[in-house]
């Protein structure tokens, strides 16, 4: 009886299962196929990196301010995103277009900048994703791809720490953490759709 109760609690707090729908929806977007095609336009990919840079910069700024990276040395992606973007973007007179989803995401993070558990939900979605599916994207996309290369710890060590910490937050702040994780997945999905639109319109052809 006690084992069954414990198992129910464990399932209830499993963030991976509780965000599976949003995660799958992001993965099935057409732009993900473009990322994995091995033939993505370099300027299109640079535009994607630039928008990711905007999102990671604000998230990591407040993650650092809230001491959320103390046990994750080298986890920050913003400096690497900046390096990759600059290596690929060839228009010295104009920066890539900032997408609507990116603007909304940056504004949203500003509203939760002091809420550690909410910020950590975004770390879970973004950085865990980079450590997992991002490693497949790294093999298919152009440029130096420092974005997906981690040097501070072994990848599995990062994953274990992030997973344990986000589950600890889930035990106390499940509603907050889930809402933010789902929002993060939905924001990523919207960016994929926007990038797909740019590609379909031949914006960089």
Domain boundary assignment for the chain: 2-200
Higher pLDDT among residues 201 and 21, named by residue: 21
Overall average pLDDT of the 80-99 stretch = 96
Look up tokens 């300027």; give the residue.
Answer: 43
> Is 2.60.40.10 the CATH number for 2-200?
no
d(CA 140, CA 133): 12
Reported as a pLDDT band with limits 50, 70 and 90, residue 204 is: confident
Overall average pLDDT of the 14-21 stretch = 94
Reported as a pLDDT band with limits 50, 70 and 90, residue 1 is: very low
Reported as a pLDDT band with limits 50, 70 and 90, residue 152 is: confident
d(CA 189, CA 33): 13
**pLDDT given for residue 13 in this prediction:** 59
d(CA 125, CA 131): 10
Is 45 within 8 Å of 143 (Cβ atoms)? yes
CB atoms under 10 Å from CB of 138, counted, come to 15
């Amino acid at each position: 009886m006690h084992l069954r109760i414990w198992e129910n609690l464990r399932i209830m707090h499993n963030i991976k299962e509780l965000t599976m729908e949003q995660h799958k929806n992001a993965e099935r977007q057409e732009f993900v196929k473009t990322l994995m095609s091995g033939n993505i336009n370099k300027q299109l990919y640079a535009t994607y990196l630039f928008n990711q840079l905007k999102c990671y910069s604000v998230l990591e700024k407040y993650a650092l301010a809230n001491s959320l990276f103390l046990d994750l040395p080298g986890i920050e992606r913003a400096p690497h995103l900046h390096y990759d973007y600059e290596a690929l973007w060839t228009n010295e007179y104009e920066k890539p277009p900032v997408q609507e989803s990116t603007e909304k995401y940056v504004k949203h993070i500003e509203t939760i900048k002091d809420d550690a558990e909410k910020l950590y939900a975004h770390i879970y979605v973004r950085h865990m994703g980079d450590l997992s599916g991002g490693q497949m994207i790294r093999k298919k996309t152009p440029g130096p791809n420092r974005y997906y290369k981690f040097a501070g710890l072994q990848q599995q060590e990062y994953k274990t720490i992030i997973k344990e910490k986000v589950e600890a937050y889930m035990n106390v702040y499940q509603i907050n953490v889930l809402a933010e994780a789902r929002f993060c997945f939905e924001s990523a999905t919207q960016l994929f759709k926007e990038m797909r639109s740019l590609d379909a319109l031949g914006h960089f052809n």
